[in-house]
Amino acid sequence: MQKKLIGIERGWWIVSLENRVWLPQGDLPLGTAESWSLQGLVAYVIGEWLGEVVWLVRHKMASDMYSPRRIAEQDPQLFQLVGRGVQLAEFYRSHRYCGYCGHEMQQTEHEWACLCHHCDERYYPQIAPCIIVGIRREDHILLAQHQRHRNGIHTVLAGFVEVGETLEETVHREVMEESGIKIRNLRYVTSQPWPFPHSLMMGFLADYESGDIEHDPVELISADWYRYDDLPLIPGPDTIARRLIEETVALCRQSCRQY
């Protein structure tokens, strides 16, 4: 699984460290290891893209190290692979020593894990489950502006799953905490890995049940109902938030036709 590069290896190169990825001239490099001067570095195969092997090299280049967000804007599937590479690089960097006994750990050969030979503990990459939900009230959708992203974008509600909680419980709790309303008819839609730094977004749709909006000022700047044909600035395409908004808008349109 792990290989010291001699130069003839070919494929896409995810060179990553500290949540950054190497994008010379703005793109993910393709070609032989030699053509990008990667000989001598250690690499792992982590996937395939357009018929070529995808390699991960845990290394920091002197320049052109960027956030994987740059790839998200180019191609959603490639973004998923780059996200995997960036998260694995970060996992290995943060698991050099065993949390139980403090001894140095080894990477395992046949899976993405670290093993402590002293106490036999095995560690896997951490994934933080996160729910995101589009809420409809007749022909309106609930959209909020987040304190953490002051960019004018209005989006659906989201939050992290807590220890010992089901996904459904998380959705009901987050919606109540952030907006003060009750929802019903919760449906799972889709998921999206989100490597900032290691989330897995799980998208739902729901209907309004009761209550008046009272937004949580710590998390949100505002939260309000917006008619489906008069929306403020919303997230860009290829995000799970955008898909949930579009599906809610489609349901709003249907509900209008019924009246």
Q: Phi-psi bin for 169: left (phi > 0), alpha (psi -120 to 50), beta?
A: alpha
If the CB atoms of residues 106 and 254 are measured against Zn ion, the closer one turns out to be 106
DSSP category for residue 36: G
**111 known ligand binder:** yes
100 near Zn ion, rule: CB under 5 A: yes
118 counts as binding Zn ion under rule CB under 5 A: yes
DSSP three-state, residue 144: strand
CA distance 58 to 39: 13
Does 130 show up as a binding residue in the annotation? no
CB 180 within 8 A of CB 144: no
Query: Is 219 a known ligand-binding residue?
Result: yes
Q: Identify the residue among 116, 141, 144, 240 touching Zn ion (CB under 5 A).
A: 116
3 state SS of 87: helix
The response to whether 198 counts as a known ligand-binding position is: yes
Residue located via tokens 């987040």: 146
At residue 92, φ and ψ (nearest 5 deg) are: -65, -35
Residue closer to Zn ion, measured from CB, 34 or 121: 121
Which of 134, 181, 177 has the alpha carbon at shortest distance from 154?
Answer: 134
Measured from the CB atom, the residue of 99 and 236 that comes closer to Zn ion is 99
Identity of the residue, 117 or 253, whose beta carbon is nearer to Zn ion in the bound complex: 117
Site string for Zn ion, 213-242 (x = CB under 5 A): ------------------------------
Q: Which is nearer to Zn ion, 123 or 225 (CB)?
A: 123
In 164-211, which ranges are continuous DSSP H helix?
A: 167-179
Instruction: Determine if residue 9 is labeled as part of a ligand binding site.
Output: no
Question: Quick one: which H or E segment has residue 48?
Answer: strand 42-49
Contact 158, 128 (CB under 8 A): no
122 binds Zn ion (CB under 5 A): no
Among the listed ranges 66-74, 94-102, 165-173, 207-215, the one in contact with Zn ion (CB under 5 A) is: 94-102
**Binding status of residue 101 toward Zn ion by CB under 5 A:** yes
Q: C-beta of 102: minimal distance to Zn ion in Å?
A: 7
Q: Using CB under 5 A, which of 1, 119, 250, 256 touches Zn ion?
A: 119
Phi then psi dihedrals of residue 183, to 5 deg: -120, 165
Cβ proximity to Zn ion, 5 vs 98, nearer residue: 98
Q: Does residue 23 contact residue 68 with C-beta atoms inside 8 Å?
A: no
Residue 199 labeled ligand binder: yes
| Residue 172 annotated in ligand binding | no
Q: Which residue in the block uniquely carries the two structure tokens 């070919």?
A: 10
Binding residues for a divalent metal cation: 158, 174, 178, 219
Residues that bind Zn ion (CB under 5 A): 98, 100-101, 116, 118-119, 121
Binding residues: 69, 98, 101, 111, 116, 119, 124, 158, 174, 178, 192-199, 219, 241
